[in-house]
């Protein structure tokens, strides 16, 4: 049985908010495996999507510590953001959330896009430390780091997509 | 005598079309010398201006071989663009201009910004060869190269600004 047959642009857009990425992934579908989909996704993200597409994908993320999504993020993307930030939120205090909000604002002011980090399983303290460290970077350096973090997030989300599809397929097949 | 005292945001915007660059340069003025202005300009461009500012600056340039400026470019910037491309235009033929136009369009389609190159003194043939070579780059690599080319253009234009100011000052002083 082949998995991944039924994914469309909107599914891929929930993994990564660049419309070019989503279109190219849909055009390259179906994939025989998650592994193959991931290889293609990395190629598309780092070689095909242009810098405007990177900025578009970044803008689909909520600020860390503030998992209310941007209004143009999909419902699935919004739900996944909340899940990815669950450890951070569970380990936060009012003062650490306040400090995170202040540093998020400083970061946005300097770089022009949201602080992007693959937050899964990470505490507020560790995310805040990373934000402060990365704040010192040059804009172009930080732009590339953010793109790498986006790819880590995309990788996790593609995994969720394939897992959910597999479950649905298995259920249907039995 | 100090030179460079009278430059304002619009003068710097003609050198580099990022409003952040122009504001920061105006705030750092006056400069005791061209050399000092150039050092500050490089620092601002590579460390302070964010990636959105880079894209804004790129968008102020006409396509190579088509020196009609974007409507939001300043009159000075437009005039300088024509001067910078004078060798290219003098060495062009109808077919080389046609080929350049086609490759410019392909480049814009792939990277999402205009092909940027410090064209001063260079033939159409040499510019076309560079465009074709750079077209193979990854988007993020090309983004950085374009930013370096923008800085070369800014350097030349700052030189023109200081030269013109010096002449005016000398005339006024005598």
Q: Which residue of B has its CA nearest to A109?
A: B50
Scored b (16 or more CB within 10 A) or e, A2-29 reads: ebbeebebebbbbbbbbebbbebbbeeb
- A143 to B113: CB separation less than 8 angstroms, yes or no: no
In angstroms, the CA A53 to CA B64 distance is: 24
Greater model confidence, A60 or B2 = A60
Torsion-angle region of residue A103: left (phi > 0), alpha (psi -120 to 50) or beta? alpha
Rounded average pLDDT over B73-79: 82
Q: For chain A, how many residues are written?
A: 174
Which two three-digit tokens encode residue A24? Answer: 């190219």
pTM: 0.88
Residue B52: list chain A partners with CB under 8 A.
55, 112
pLDDT reported for residue B89: 76
pLDDT reported for residue A78: 82
Which two three-digit tokens encode residue A30? Answer: 């179906």
In angstroms, the CA B121 to CA A136 distance is: 38
In angstroms, the CA A131 to CA A66 distance is: 14
Q: Is B27 on the interface with A (CB under 8 A)?
A: no
- B139 to A112: CB separation less than 8 angstroms, yes or no: no
CB-nearest partner of A47 from B47, B112, B138: B138
- B50 to A144: CB separation less than 8 angstroms, yes or no: no
Residue A112: list chain B partners with CB under 8 A.
50-53
Angle of helix B139-173 versus helix B75-84 axis, rounded to 10: 110
**C-beta atoms surrounding A65 within 10 Å:** 23
Q: Which residues contact B98 (CB under 8 A, 6 or more apart)?
A: none
Per-residue pLDDT tens over the stretch A83-133: 888 887 777 788 888 999 999 999 999 999 999 999 888 889 999 999 999
Which two three-digit tokens encode residue A35? Answer: 């592994």
Q: Which residue of A has its CA nearest to B56?
A: A52
Which two three-digit tokens encode residue B51? Answer: 């990636």
Testing the interface with A: which of B48, B109, B137, B139 to mutate, by most A Cβ within 10 A? B139
Q: Is A148 on the interface with B (CB under 8 A)?
A: no
Scored b (16 or more CB within 10 A) or e, B156-171 reads: bbbeebbeebeeebee
pLDDT reported for residue B94: 83
Flag whether pLDDT at B2 surpasses 80. no
Radius of gyration of chain A (CA): 17
Q: Is B50 on the interface with A (CB under 8 A)?
A: yes
Rounded average pLDDT over B74-96: 82
pLDDT reported for residue B168: 56
């Amino acid at each position: 049985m082949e998995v991944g047959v039924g994914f469309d642009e909107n599914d891929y857009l929930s993994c990564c908010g660049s419309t070019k990425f989503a279109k190219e992934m849909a055009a390259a579908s179906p994939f025989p495996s998650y592994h193959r989909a991931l290889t293609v996704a990395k190629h598309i993200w780092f070689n095909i999507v242009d810098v405007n597409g990177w900025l578009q994908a970044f803008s689909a993320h909520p600020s860390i510590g503030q998992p209310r999504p941007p209004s143009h993020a999909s419902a699935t993307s919004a739900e996944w953001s909340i899940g990815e930030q669950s450890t951070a939120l569970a380990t936060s205090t009012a003062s650490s959330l306040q400090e995170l909000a202040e540093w998020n604002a400083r970061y946005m002011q300097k770089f022009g896009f949201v602080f992007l980090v693959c937050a899964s399983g990470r505490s507020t303290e560790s995310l805040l430390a990373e934000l402060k460290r990365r704040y010192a970077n040059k804009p172009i350096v930080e732009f590339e780091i953010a793109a790498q973090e986006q790819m880590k997030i995309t990788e996790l989300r593609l995994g969720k997509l394939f897992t959910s599809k597999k479950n649905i397929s298995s259920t249907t097949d039995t």
